[in-house]
Amino acid sequence: MSWTKQDAKKLSDQILSFSKAPECEVALAETSLTHTRFAANEITTSGAARDLSVSITSRGEGKSGSVRVNDLDAEALRNAVALSEELMRSATPDPEFVEGLPPQAYPEIRSFHQETARAGALEHRPGVKAALDEARARSLTASGFSEAGATTSAIANKKGNFGFHEGSTASYSTTMRTVDGTGSGWAGFESPRFGDVTARRPLRRSGCRRPASTGSSVPRRRAAGTARRRGCRGGPRRPAARG
């Protein structure tokens, strides 16, 4: 499933209705990820994963107890709340106990993009193919990772506080190596939008030239933005000076 703000509010209200403790806090999280990995100029793995968790914390008299479950059945949630209250009662008082927050005004952060959340193996393929084609054309060895994912999270408590956020992240990185292993280059890029993470950006920065016999190649200027890269390194080392 994929929670909307209304879904998250409805679920958190249901969980809080089971609570008998002075305070109860709920944290909801759902994460979906897809990836394609390649190494030695071949695709090695491609997969997808989805996970959800419901964290319930009961508080009272300076004590607290927490339970985490991934079952949304009403009876399972009721039992989880009861267990958190049992753990609370058996806990020792916490001298640093902090009460839950009253209603807060959380800013809306627009970091979710549907194209990223929907990206799968077919969407990862062009970026992976670009790296493999580049490596084979230049007699290099390529490896790397293309990943996309989305996270939905919410918090709520018995005092009426509620917060909701959804975000997405796409990332792409690749390493190019010379066949003889004397040089390599790495670059990566990350963005909330899958369309921003094109293979051309990392590939322009990860291309590796065979280093001269005097040492490593001259590093190129770092590009602006969130791209990261390492220049080529390798080649015979200079002998250490003797005294």
Per-residue confidence (pLDDT) for residue 143, from 0 to 100: 95
CA-based nearest residue to 154, from 166, 143, 146: 166
Q: How far apart are CA 6 and CA 14, in angstroms?
A: 12
Query: What pLDDT does residue 224 have?
Result: 34
pLDDT of residue 6: 96
Cα 164 to chain centroid, rounded? 18
Q: How far apart are CA 126 and CA 46, in angstroms?
A: 14
* Res. 239: pLDDT tops 60: no
Task: Report the distance separating Cα 23 and Cα 31, nearest Å.
Answer: 27
Long-range contacts of 63-69 (CB under 8 A, 24+ apart): 63/88, 63/89, 63/91, 63/92, 63/93, 63/94, 63/97, 64/88, 64/91, 64/94, 64/97, 65/89, 65/90, 65/91
Q: Tell me, rounded to whole angstroms, the distance of Cα 203 from its chain centroid.
A: 22
Question: Position of tokens 């209304």?
Answer: 6
What pLDDT sits at residue 205?
55
Q: Which runs of consecutive H residues, i.e. helices, occur in 53-103?
A: 74-90
Cα(132)–Cα(210) distance, integer angstroms: 18
Q: Which residues, in sequence order, are bridge partners of residue 177?
A: 141, 184
Range 20-36 average pLDDT: 97
Checking if the pLDDT of 157 tops 60, the result is yes
pLDDT band at 197 (very low <50, low <70, confident <90, very high): confident
Return the residue matching tokens 């390798």: 234
pLDDT at residue 229 greater than cutoff 60: no
Residue 200 confidence (pLDDT): 58
For the sheet with 228-233, list strands across it.
63-69, 42-60, 23-39, 140-157, 162-178, 184-191, 228-233
Among 25-29, 133-137, 153-157, 218-222, the least confident range? 218-222
Domain 5-233 maps to which CATH number in 3.30.2290.10, 3.40.50.720, 3.40.50.510, 1.20.1740.10? 3.30.2290.10
Identity (one letter) of the amino acid at 101? L
Residue 213 pLDDT > 70, yes or no? no
pTM over 0.85: no
Tell whether the model's pLDDT for residue 176 goes beyond 70. Answer: yes
| Residue 2: predicted pLDDT | 72
pLDDT value for 104:
96
**3-class SS of residue 9:** helix
What confidence category does residue 181 fall into, taking pLDDT thresholds of 50, 70 and 90? confident
Measured at the CA of 213, the angle between CA 208 and CA 216, to 5 degrees, comes to 45
Length of the chain: 243
Share of the chain above pLDDT 70, in %: 81
The residues facing 180 across adjacent strands are none
- 127: pLDDT strictly greater than 50: yes
- Cβ atoms < 10 Å from Cβ of 144: 25
Q: Looking at the predicted structure, is the pLDDT value of residue 212 above 80?
A: no
Residue 129 has pLDDT above 50, yes or no: yes
Mean residue pLDDT across the chain:
85
SS3 133: helix
- Nearest-angstrom CA–CA distance, 243 and 241: 7
Model pLDDT for residues 65-101, shown as the tens digit of each residue: 999 999 999 999 999 999 999 999 999 999 999 999 9
**Three-state DSSP state, 175:** strand
